[in-house]
Amino acid sequence: MTPSAEMITMNLTLNNGVQLPALGFGVFQTPPEETVQAVEHALRTGYRHIDTAAAYGNEREVGEGIRRSGLDRDEVFIETKIWISDYGYDTTLHAFDKSAGKLGVDRIDLLILHQALPSRFDLTVEAYRALEQLQADGKVRAIGVSNFMREHLDELLGKTTVVPAVNQIEVHPYFKQPDVLAADTEHEILSQAWSPIGGITFYQEGQGGSVLDDPTVTRISSAHGKSPAQVMLRWHLQQGRSAIPKSVKPARIEENFDVFDFALTDAELAALDGLHRGVRRGPEPADITLESFGREIPEA
Ligand code: NDP
C-alpha cells in the first residue's frame, strides 16, 4: 500500500536504532563561501540533517552554519565521509579527527566511506574497521558506506562485524540501481539517494537530458501542483529511502523541504520507476583508484 502523506515519518530508524531525518541537505559543490548561509537557511527551513564530506572542502563552513542556526548540536544530524586517500586503520582514525575538528564537534552522527577502493579492498576494510572502532568508542553514532555495489557489500560484510547503517548511492528516476537497492534491503542497510532530483543529469555534461524536464515527471508534478524536484523527493521518501538534495538558493532549499503535504499514487510511483535507463552518470565504482582519484585532505 502506498503510505499517505501523514504516514511518512520525518525520521528513519537505522539498523542500530539511531534515528536519521529522512530528508537531509547536501552540500557537494557548494563553495565554502556559500556554505554557511546555505546550511543556516536549510536549518531555519526545517532540515535537521546535513550531508557533507571531507572531499567537499566545506566541513568547516557546515559547522559554522550549524552554530549560526542557533540550534543545539544534538538537534542536527551530521553526516560526513572519509575520502579514499585517508583509508587505512590509523589514517582513517585520524581522518575522523580532521573532520570533527573542521566541523567543530566531538561526535559525528553518521560517518561513511565515500567510495569502495576495489583494487585496494584491503585498505577499504581497514578504513571500515576504524569506523567500527570509532563507533565502539562513542565518537560516531552510526557508520556506513557510499557507492558500494553488491559485491563490495558482500566482501565487506565477510570481513567486518558491524553491518553498515547506510549505503549512499546515485538514485534518481533515470538511474535507480535496483540490484544495489535490493542488496541494501537484504542486509538491512538504509539506501540513501545522492543526486536525488537528478542533479547529475543536468550539472554534468553527458547524454540523456535532465530528469527535471522529463515529461512523466512534469505530468505528475502538474497533477499535484508540485515541482518536479518535489515529486522526485516524494518518490524517494515513499519508497523508504533517505534523500539529500542540494541547493544554494533559498527558495529551492525551501521548495525541496516542502514535500510533506502530498502523496504520490502507486501508479505514479510505478511510472517514475519505469523511467530507469540503467545508465550511471556518476563515476564507475570499479574505476575508483588512489592513482586517479586520490588527493590530500588537509588537517583541521
Ligand atoms: P541534486 O539532485 O541534489 O541536485 C542539485 C542540483 O539541482 C544543483 O545544481 C541545484 O542548483 C539544483 N536544484 C536544487 N534544487 C532544485 C529545484 N528545486 N529545482 C531545480 N533545480 C534545483 O544533486 P547532487 O549531486 O548535489 O546530490 C545531492 C547531494 O548528494 C550532494 O550535495 C552530496 O551531499 C551528495 N552526493 C554524494 C555523492 C557521493 O558520491 N556519495 C555524489 C554526489 C552527491 P542550485 O544549488 O543552484 O539550486
Q: Does residue 213 lie within any of the structural domains?
A: no
Do 254 and 42 touch, CB atoms closer than 8 A?
A: no
Grid cell 547503517 in the structure block, residue: 165
Average pLDDT over residues 235-248: 98
Which atom of ligand 1 is nearest to 198's Cα?
2
pLDDT for 4 beyond 80:
no
List, for residues 120-149, the tens digit of each pLDDT value. 999 999 999 999 999 999 999 999 999 999
Average pLDDT over residues 57-67: 98
Q: Which of 195, 236, 258 to mutate to test the pocket of ligand 1 (most atoms within 8 A of CB)?
A: 195
Residue 195 Cα to ligand 1 middle (Å) = 5
User: DSSP secondary-structure letter at 204?
Assistant: S
CATH of the domain at 21: 3.20.20.100
Average pLDDT over residues 152-163: 98
Do 50 and 79 touch, CB atoms closer than 8 A?
A: yes
> With bands split at pLDDT 50, 70 and 90, how would you rate the model's confidence at 172?
very high
Cβ-proximal residues to 99 (8 Å cutoff; 6+ apart), any chain: 54, 59, 80, 82, 108, 111, 300
> With bands split at pLDDT 50, 70 and 90, how would you rate the model's confidence at 100?
very high
Average pLDDT over residues 248-277: 97
Q: Does residue 298 lie within any of the structural domains?
A: no
Task: Give nearest CA residue, ligand 1 atom 44.
Answer: 194
State the alpha helices, DSSP H only, in the chain. Answer: 32-45, 59-69, 89-103, 121-136, 150-159, 178-186, 199-202, 215-224, 228-238, 250-257, 266-273, 290-293
Average pLDDT value for the chain: 95
Task: Give nearest CA residue, ligand 1 atom 2.
Answer: 195
Grid cell 546550511 in the structure block, residue: 39
Q: Does residue 196 lie within any of the structural domains?
A: yes
Q: What sign does the dihedral 203-207-211-213 (CA atoms) show? A: positive
Query: In terms of residue numbers, what domain contains 45?
Result: 12-208+241-261
Q: Does residue 140 lie within any of the structural domains?
A: yes
Residue 209's pLDDT is 86
Tell how far CA 284 is from the center of its chain: 17
Q: Does residue 216 lie within any of the structural domains?
A: no
Q: Which of 47, 56, 128, 174 is catalytic?
A: 56
Residue 3's pLDDT is 46
pLDDT for 199 beyond 70:
yes
Task: Give nearest CA residue, ligand 1 atom 27.
Answer: 195
Q: Does residue 3 lie within any of the structural domains?
A: no
Task: Name the β-bridge partners of 12.
Answer: 20
Residue 223's pLDDT is 98
Residue 9's pLDDT is 58
> With bands split at pLDDT 50, 70 and 90, how would you rate the model's confidence at 10?
confident
What secondary structure does DSSP assign to 156-186, as a single string? Answer: HHHH-SSPPSEEEEE-BTTB--HHHHHHHHH
Residue 158 Cα to ligand 1 middle (Å) = 33
Q: Does residue 230 lie within any of the structural domains?
A: no
How many domains does the chain divide into? Answer: 1
What secondary structure does DSSP assign to 24-48, as a single string? Answer: -EE-TT--HHHHHHHHHHHHHHT--
The whole-angstrom separation of Cα 146 and Cα 190 is: 11
pTM over 0.95: yes
Do 82 and 95 touch, CB atoms closer than 8 A?
A: yes
The whole-angstrom separation of Cα 107 and Cα 115 is: 22
- Bridge pairing between strands 77-82 and 19-21: unpaired
Which atom of ligand 1 is nearest to 255's Cα?
18
Give ligand 1 pocket residues (Cβ under 6 A): 26-28, 51, 114, 146-147, 168, 194-200, 203, 212, 227, 229, 244-249, 252, 255-256, 282
The whole-angstrom separation of Cα 274 and Cα 245 is: 22
Residue 7's pLDDT is 47
What is the signed CA dihedral for 153, 157, 163, 164, rounded to 10 degrees?
-30
Is residue 56 among the annotated active site residues? Answer: yes
Q: Does residue 188 lie within any of the structural domains?
A: yes
